Amino acid sequence: MTNLILIGLGLHDENGISLQGLEEAKKATYVFAEFYTSYMPAIKISNLEKLLGKQIKILSRKEVEEYTQENILVHAKKYPCVFLTPGDPNIATTHIDLRLRAENEGIRTSIIHSASISSAIAGATGLQNYKFGRTVTIPFKSTSISEIPYENIFENKSRGLHTLALLDINSESRLFMSIPEGLTIIIEIEERLRKRCTTRNTLAIGVARLGSPDASVKAGTIENLLRFNWGDPPHCIVFPGKLHFMEIEALKILCKADPELFEI
């Protein structure tokens, strides 16, 4: 029997877990979970525990990354264990590291996938999945602003590729970067580097609460997206590259883009 199964919970609430994931979690002796790599706005641990019929031990980042042995692996060596994560377990580097450490200690592992922002974004926007380049994360401001996200957006655009920009979160402090905050940071870098990659007239797509009943997807100029009311987190941004005519139609219909944006 597999000793450690990593199971994705999806995007929004406890109902995002697959039937396969639910059945495997019910059979586990120990069920662990983390909620620091992503934000699930409507997750209710009590409801999830009722679905599984057992208690869930929620672990902090430090407990997973620095004390994996004591918190997870010591149990997985003897009993079937499950590790629940937001989205898809293999998307976050932390989870890959956990799986490798388990395998190196002779603990058999497997993955039960679920929806993640990376897999859902193409369907939500109507953009073609194979045309997405490197995903970037826009971090909170510190003493200086990182230019790396901007440079990656520029590189993707130079190749005609779209960019998914994830926005920073601090789950312990309940801080979630908003779309206007992320765009403001990118504009500041644009005004410094002046590569005309993300000006205020550049087309972008804002996505809020993907996977929820009140998800919001809106395409427009950065200037317009800065003024839009995005509501509660989580938020992310897409910077499109070269657009196919079908993608343009999708942006008009699915993302409510102004048709005048695409007139030559």
Which residue matches tokens 């603990």?
107
**Residue 17 clears pLDDT 70, i.e. is over it:** yes
The answer on 139 and 257 residing in a single domain is: yes
pLDDT recorded at residue 141: 83
The answer on 30 and 97 residing in a single domain is: yes
Q: Residue range 198-203: average pLDDT?
A: 96
The answer on 52 and 23 residing in a single domain is: yes
Q: What is the pLDDT of residues 144-163, one digit of tens each?
A: 788 999 999 999 999 999 99
The answer on 96 and 131 residing in a single domain is: no
Q: What angle do CA 162, 139, 10 make, to 5 degrees?
A: 65
The answer on 51 and 11 residing in a single domain is: yes
Among the candidates 112, 140, 161, a domain finishes at 112
Three-state SS letters, the chain: CCCEEEEECECCCHHHCCHHHHHHHHHCCEEEECCCCCCCCCCCHHHHHHHHCCCCEECCHHHHHCCHHHHHHHHHCCCCEEEEECECCCCCHHHHHHHHHHHHCCCCEEEECCCCHHHHHHHHHCCCHHHECCCEEECCCCCCCCCHHHHHHHHHHHCCCEEEEEECEECCCCEECCHHHHHHHHHHHHHHHCCCCCCCCCEEEEEECCCCCCCEEEEEEHHHHHHCCCCCCCEEEEECCCCCHHHHHHHHHCCCCCHHHHCC
pLDDT recorded at residue 94: 78
Task: Let me know: does 73 contact 109? Beta carbons within 8 Å.
Answer: no
The answer on 125 and 74 residing in a single domain is: no
- Percent of all residues in the chain with a pLDDT value above 90, rounded to a whole number: 90
Nearest Cα neighbor of 225 from 234, 215, 210, 235 is 235
Angstrom distance (rounded) from CA 134 to CA 7:
25
CATH number at residue 76: 3.40.1010.10
For residue 209, give its domain range: 117-262
The answer on 170 and 44 residing in a single domain is: no
Angstrom distance (rounded) from CA 157 to CA 164:
12
The answer on 94 and 121 residing in a single domain is: no
pLDDT recorded at residue 241: 97
pLDDT recorded at residue 143: 65
Q: What is the pLDDT of residues 66-95, one digit of tens each?
A: 999 999 999 999 999 999 999 999 887 778
Q: What is the pLDDT of residues 221-238, one digit of tens each?
A: 999 999 999 999 999 999
**Residue 201 clears pLDDT 90, i.e. is over it:** yes
Q: Please give the tally of structural domains in the chain.
A: 2
Among the candidates 112, 135, 163, a domain finishes at 112
The answer on 100 and 148 residing in a single domain is: no
pLDDT recorded at residue 145: 85
**Residue 1 clears pLDDT 60, i.e. is over it:** no
The answer on 82 and 36 residing in a single domain is: yes
pLDDT band at 27 (very low <50, low <70, confident <90, very high): very high
pLDDT recorded at residue 2: 67
The rounded mean pLDDT for the chain is 94
pLDDT recorded at residue 75: 96
**Residue 264 clears pLDDT 70, i.e. is over it:** no
Please give the C-alpha separations between residue 51 and each of 19, 21, 42, 139, 231, in angstroms, as whole numbers. 11, 11, 15, 35, 29
